[in-house]
Structure 1
Amino acid sequence: MVNIDGKQIKLQIWDTAGQESFRSITRSYYRGAAGALLVYDITRRETFNHLTSWLEDARQHSSSNMVIMLIGNKSDLESRRDVKREEGEAFAQEHGLIFMETSAKTASNVEEAFINTAKEIYRKIQQGLFDVHNEANGIKIGPQQPISTSVGPCTSQQNSRDLGYNSGCC
């Protein structure tokens, strides 16, 4: 549960772990998702290089209004950085994504990544870009809450360390 503009918003989040072997299953998670976090490891160039493919999947299998945030993770490992922050920012700008860097190890910006994604989804709801009465958009009006938002999937290249949760849910 997060508070956005004084309203309690429930986020439902799935971690698809970015595993190629589960790619066909991952695609099904995009349907009915209001948002996605695409995560790459700033210390591993190959994870950044795969972003275009993951982004194509997300866009092909989701609503055109889905909020996508690009996350450069492991910002605590600056000395091992293989992908410059500017590269992540440029990729995000080129593809219309929200960008930030996080560290699951130090928890830097992890909560903010989810909250910022939820805020952007909420903003799109207010603009009428999401039909809150169509659950296919990943949004349900809850019985006690004005809006319940489903944010997922969280695709990552490094599984549970990426966003600091070990329960299998990002």
Structure 2
Amino acid sequence: MLRMKIVVAGNSAVGKTALVQAFHGDATLFAKNYNMTVGVDLVVKCVNIPDSGAVVEMYLCDCSGKEIFQRSLETHWHHAAGVCLVFDLTDEGSLVSCSSWMQCLGSFHVAGVLVGTKADLTARRVVSAERAQSVAASLGLNYFETSAKEMLNCDAPFSFLADAFHRFYEERVEQARMLI
């Protein structure tokens, strides 16, 4: 079994916890009330990699979006294999701040995703898919849109990260074999 640490970051109230909980609960539960995350919530879930028999045990560090906790969060960001930056499709400012979050996070080892949440709120949407895709590309991330309320696409960003991590691992094993 492979183990992967992923930092889930973004502004407060963008839907990080809802996204993580929808993924963790296999999209079977949407809690209507959430308590604001204080510090970091750790969620663990195993993801099977299709056609390989491999399993990636994902450690999701759901980080508070409050600036006051940012210094204490930095210890959780070290050695992360992946990053999941989350923004709210109904809040342009949450997308703009993703660049700042990326600077705070520094580098990650394998892959990263930018996730637009609340895709079900089409009448309130202010961020176009093209705009978000452009920001994702500028940050070197892959882009996904989700709705935890509608259980839409909540597993896709995490499945992508698990698959990228597995591919990274397999490439390193192959490189090691060639050295022997």
Asked if these proteins are the same fold (TM beyond 0.5), I'd say yes
Unaligned runs of 5+ in 2: 1-45, 174-180
Deviation at 1:24, TM superposition (A): 0.9
Deviating 4+ runs (over 3 angstroms): none
Per the alignment, residue 87 of structure 1 pairs with 131
- Percent identity of paired positions between Structure 1 and Structure 2: 31
Q: 2:68 aligned with 1:21, yes or no?
A: yes
- What is the SS of the residue equivalent to 2:57? strand
Q: After superposition, what is the alpha-carbon deviation per residue over 1:87-138, rounded to whole angstroms, capped at 9, x for unaligned?
A: 1101111221111001111111111211111111111222229xxxxxxxxx
The separation in 1 between residues aligned to 2:167 and 2:105, in whole angstroms, is 20
Per the alignment, residue 50 of structure 1 pairs with 97
Alignment of 1:93-104 (within 5 A): 93-104=137-148
Q: 2:88 aligned with 1:41, yes or no?
A: yes
The separation in 2 between residues aligned to 1:91 and 1:101, in whole angstroms, is 13
Q: Tell me how large the CA RMSD over aligned residues is.
A: 1.8
Aligned residues: 127
- What is the SS of the residue equivalent to 2:127? coil
Per the alignment, residue 109 of structure 1 pairs with 153
Unaligned runs of 5+ in 1: 130-170
The separation in 2 between residues aligned to 1:103 and 1:128, in whole angstroms, is 35
Per the alignment, residue 6 of structure 1 pairs with 53
The separation in 2 between residues aligned to 1:104 and 1:20, in whole angstroms, is 24
Q: When the two structures are superposed, what TM-score results if normalisation uses the length of structure 2?
A: 0.66
Deviation at 1:66, TM superposition (A): 3.7
Per the alignment, residue 78 of structure 2 pairs with 31
2:111 maps to a residue whose letter is V
Per the alignment, residue 124 of structure 1 pairs with 168
The separation in 2 between residues aligned to 1:68 and 1:56, in whole angstroms, is 13
The separation in 2 between residues aligned to 1:17 and 1:80, in whole angstroms, is 24
The separation in 2 between residues aligned to 1:13 and 1:71, in whole angstroms, is 15
Q: When the two structures are superposed, what TM-score results if normalisation uses the length of structure 1?
A: 0.69
